[in-house]
Amino acid sequence: MTTRKIRLALRAYGVGGPGQHSLWKDPRIPKNASIDIDWYIAQAKAAEHARFDALFIVDSQFIDATYPPHYLNRLEPLTLLSAVATHTRHIGLVGTLSSTYNSPFNVARRFASLDHISHGRAGWNVVTSLDSGTSGNYGLDEHLDYATRYGRALEHVRVVRGLWDSYEDDAFPADVERGLFVDPAKLHALNHEGEHFRVTGPLNISRSEQGQPVIFQAGVSEEGRNLAAHVAEGIYAPGGSLDAARSYYSDIKRRTAGTGRNPDHVLIFLGAQPVVAGTDEEAHRLSREIFEADNDFDRKLAQFGRSFGAYDFSQHDLDAPFPDVAHLAEKSGRTRGTEIIRRAREENLTLRQTVSAFTEYRPSPFTGAPKTVATAIAEWFAAGAFDGLNVGFRTHDDLQRFVADVVPILQEEGLFRTEYEADTLRGNLGLPIPANRWSVA
């Protein structure tokens, strides 16, 4: 029995996220799944029954008609998670909210409210907003550049954490005899003045059972990795090869240690979409069928523009060299956009060849019969590729199969819990409760 356990989070995409544009056609998928709270509650309960750590809700605030079906019509994360909280008891509830397009006070109050509603199970996935078109929805002429967005994000998180500490943990004696509801000496204004924000405080809500919501972050750029090293307690990392995952894992742990933080207090969740069937052959056949269901070049061409500010590549000759659009990636999906441009130039690819190269069939490394999938998960975990998996499934049936057939094998190997260790998200992740800064002082 090993003391280090695999963490599992479930990401829910309703009628179909990236690479799943045709999922809504599946008769097992409710056509309104992405706005049906009962569908989310059922997903959360199934994951909680299997002792998953968290339900993860992604979000963005810009769309056009080329975006995946789930993106076009979905619930706001904190509203959704507040409803799910009343139907669950243990699973963590992690919502995505942009530090670029939200004020710290509002973010602090909303997540603190979710933390109380859920009795200490809230988590904030901090993003800086990939889609440059988001600026137009907030009355801005253009999207902020990378350096500004990430500098703002670091200060934003620090302000939010300061607001979460407005009340010391024993600030409410509620002493009827003395007529003392709150001890004013234990209520603290923040009085923050920084480069991006001026926030007075205090916040009008106390800390929860877990002290503060858990901070998650997702990003692979240099700025994103540095932000993670400074503030993240959980990271949603992209999938890819074993070598790439190990490199990312070791890099984040190294950067975290470099800031003076304990690397064990930063848990890396690798994105994964397991495909489980009765045999390895059947699973790989199913995996290929899933890919072919969305293997539409025109759709892939339209989606290709997201890393370049939703740029319309259809205006270019498909068989001409990849167009010069590097400037469009600078304020949008720079990391992926830069990689696309680099490869297209080095390999002298046309636009058609570039799109095909970046959207070709790549089966999940966690594809096969239950034992095969469990073994692959265990091997990647032992190799230092992740602390946990952020898994997604096409249908509820696929989730149930993973829960029924793969999770028990991981439990038998001592790699995954059989019971929750705590009632809070921090407790189940093995993360410490942050000390209130004023109590420490």
Backbone angles phi, psi at 71, to 5 degrees: -70, -25
Report the candidate in 330, 346, 347 with the shortest Cα–Cα distance to residue 338.
330
For tokens 């993106």, what's the residue? 71
* Cβ count within 10 A of residue 110: 21
Instruction: Tell me which amino acid residue 163 is.
Output: L
* 332 labelled binding-site residue: no
- Cis amide leading into 202 (omega within 30): yes
DSSP state of 174: -
96 is in an annotated binding site: yes
d(Cα 276, Cα 371) in Å, to the nearest integer? Answer: 9
Which of 275, 331, 284 is closest to 308 using CA atoms?
331
Measured distance CA(90)–CA(408) in Å, rounded:
19
Sign of the CA dihedral 271, 277, 283, 289? negative
375 is in an annotated binding site: no
- DSSP H or E segment with residue 412: helix 407-412
Place of tokens 């994103």: 224
Give phi and psi for 279, each to the nearest 5: -135, 165
* Alpha carbons within 13 A on the beta-carbon side of 146: 18
In degrees and rounded to multiples of 5, residue 276 shows phi and psi of -115, 135
Whether 59 has a binding-site annotation, put simply, is: yes
Cα distance between residue 236 and residue 45, in whole Å: 22
Instruction: Output the known binding site for FMN.
Output: 59, 96, 150, 221
Instruction: Output the known binding site.
Output: 59, 96, 150, 221
